[in-house]
Amino acid sequence: MLFSKILLAYDGSKAANKALDRAVELAKVTQGSSLHVVHAFEFPRFFIGEALAPLPASVNKDYYDVAVKTTEEVKQRLADEGLNAKVELLQGSPAETILKYAKDNEIDIIVIGSRGLGGIREFVLGSVSHNVVQSARIPVLVVK
């Protein structure tokens, strides 16, 4: 089965880089296919009891700067591969953002790494890849 609209969920992790390689392969085997890359990020939130603790603006800026750097790196890698892909930096819950993007853009397949940069948050809330697989209505390729 060939896919004409491929979505890569990318966070810069080792698994995401492996998923990038696979998404590039998929895009190259289907003439006329389009590759969409989404880097979804959230600003950190810290709770004290039931209240949301305020964070310095510099913390949010640091998160945003890392997100921009991540998208610039993937753009460069895709250019090196000779692919003209659409790369988006989106703010929001990663799994929800990926799924919404896939629906809004009529994506045929989602390619995602098996483990991202989640750390303890992943353990507590479930991984992004797991949430995407469970909720997607289209095929999802999870790359280890």
* 24, 14 Cβ separation under 8 angstroms: no
Whether 50 is in a domain gets the answer no
Whether 82 is in a domain gets the answer no
pLDDT at residue 143 in the model: 93
Whether 88 is in a domain gets the answer no
Structure tokens at 16: 């995401």
Distance (Å, whole) CA 96 – CA 23 = 20
pLDDT at residue 97 in the model: 97
pLDDT at residue 109 in the model: 98
Distance (Å, whole) CA 75 – CA 60 = 23
How many domains is the chain built from? 1
* pTM score, whole prediction: 0.88
Q: Is residue 97 classed exposed, middle or buried when 0-12, 13-18 and 19+ CB atoms within 10 A define those classes?
A: buried
Report how far apart, in Å, the C-alpha atoms of 96 and of each of 36, 47, 113 are: 16, 22, 16
Residues of the chain with pLDDT under 70: 1, 116-126
- For residue 21, give its domain range: 5-42+56-77+94-143
Whether 101 is in a domain gets the answer yes
Whether 125 is in a domain gets the answer yes
